[in-house]
Structure 1
């Protein structure tokens, strides 16, 4: 039987926000990481590229490049999970979204694959403020325009997500067949989060809440496909309704420590020049 520390882990999205951290955390734990990105010939949209990435591995971390609640994610995760199991890769960990009802079909597609599955249901990423589409508004315009209203969110550092994923993989069967709900240590509104970033950077930064539909029009203007815009508007209208305004103890249970705090994230990202104009 493969020893846990001899595990080869396929990491999809290994150049992305969570995958890059999962890859680093897995390597630090002594696991062998097999990046599955387009640069390595893997493409979620091309099934012919999957077997080469999966064959001979022991486990895989699955993060779909689109929203986990999309029909494309549901189909791709289900198909890839079945293929992984057929190739002997039974241990699969899926990144999903905490409180997102649209994500449940994708989680179900994983469960139906007969894999030894774990779902990590994560709160809103702290790194959404420092990487991806939201950072440019803060960096260049000093303003975050977003449909978060005044809802309070338990923002989580993606490094904690990565540490949980690796710990789950190293824990044998302990988390097989389970969903692990992970959040940060405290609740903040989007406005309060921007205020903490402003304090860390010494800049005047503001938050402008807008209705989800207006934000969808903004995304459409950026060239986001209509189908994706409609899904995101639906997600924002439901996910940001306060359903996630509570803390969970997944990080503490899996890692035996407290999750990283938003102020520490902001200070580190500011020191790296993330929001420097």
Structure 2
């Protein structure tokens, strides 16, 4: 029989205002558990690049949900994750749940660095999020009606941030998940032409997908002042390494993951894509 973690100490949620972090905070508080938002603008700030912020953020915490911005694939992530995990364990915060990326070699290096701390770990590897289209870097392109991306005809089983948050909260609150790695995807493989069609249907507007070259996309990122390394993340889609369904959502939660069509309908109803 599983032992549930009966810990009244707060859980530090790094990136607690982000796509998955915000949802994890809401769910923990909904269960009557204390959640501490770890973000630059938080009451107790947490900044990855400023290690002097780590001690106060971890003070008195019982567990932490670890998300790394901008992505575990970026240079320096592995080292930062390793230092943070060791620092947390030294301070008695042993229970760490890491958000990782499916099919990312650099992310696996960060997973290994976290585990090397001797913590009680769970790794949650996710595909690209549905919410990238409504809360992140694809939002403005959807509003403008034009998704110009270096993804060719590639397909991806986009996963919903609500499903990720539900899995993370299960991992944080039930000791059965210690030492487990869960891979999460949505229930369907979708190309960006399919995405544009589904978004057009729910918004009542014409949204078009335009394949572009990776060099053109890099130039566009430069112009927007975004890190060019974001372009490298598209390799995860283009080379087909994640073009298959995985079943972590069902494994942890005993239900099917949310479909993109249901996500799109709900997001459209909020007015987020109104031009």
Q: RMSD of aligned C-alpha atoms?
A: 1.6
How far apart are 1:221 and its partner, in Å? 1.5
Q: Which runs of 5+ in 1 are unaligned?
A: none
1:183 aligned to which of 166, 182, 185 = 185
How far apart are 1:237 and its partner, in Å? 2.6
1:220 aligned partner: 222
Deviations 1:104-157 (A, max 9, x none): 221111111111111100011000011122111111x21111122211111111
Deviations 1:15-73 (A, max 9, x none): 11111011111112222101111122221111111011102111100111111111222
1:116 aligned partner: 120
Q: Which runs of 5+ in 2 are unaligned?
A: none
2:156 aligned partner: 153
Distance 1:69 1:113 in 2: 20
How far apart are 1:213 and its partner, in Å? 2.6
1:8 aligned partner: 10
**Alpha-carbon contact 2:4-2:174 (below 8 Å) kept:** no
* Secondary structure of the corresponding residue to residue 210 of structure 2: strand
2:172 aligned partner: 169
1:81 aligned partner: 85
2:239 aligned partner: 241
* Secondary structure of the corresponding residue to residue 18 of structure 1: helix
Go from structure 1 to structure 2 and tell me whether the alpha carbon gap of 1:138 and 1:39 turns closer, same or farther (over 3 Å shift): same
The within-5 A match list for 1:41-80 is 41-80=45-84
2:24 aligned partner: 22
Go from structure 1 to structure 2 and tell me whether the alpha carbon gap of 1:215 and 1:133 turns closer, same or farther (over 3 Å shift): same
How far apart are 1:7 and its partner, in Å? 4.8
1:34 aligned partner: 36
Matched, 1:138 2:142: yes
**Alpha-carbon contact 2:5-2:173 (below 8 Å) kept:** no
1:258 aligned partner: 256
Distance 2:238 2:79 in 1: 25
1:207 aligned partner: 209
Distance 2:17 2:217 in 1: 27
**Alpha-carbon contact 2:155-2:237 (below 8 Å) kept:** no
Instruction: Return the TM-score normalized by structure 2.
Output: 0.94
Distance 2:65 2:91 in 1: 15
**Alpha-carbon contact 1:184-1:260 (below 8 Å) kept:** yes
**How many residues of Structure 1 are paired with residues of Structure 2 in the alignment?**
271
How far apart are 1:3 and its partner, in Å? 4.4
Instruction: Return the TM-score normalized by structure 1.
Output: 0.93
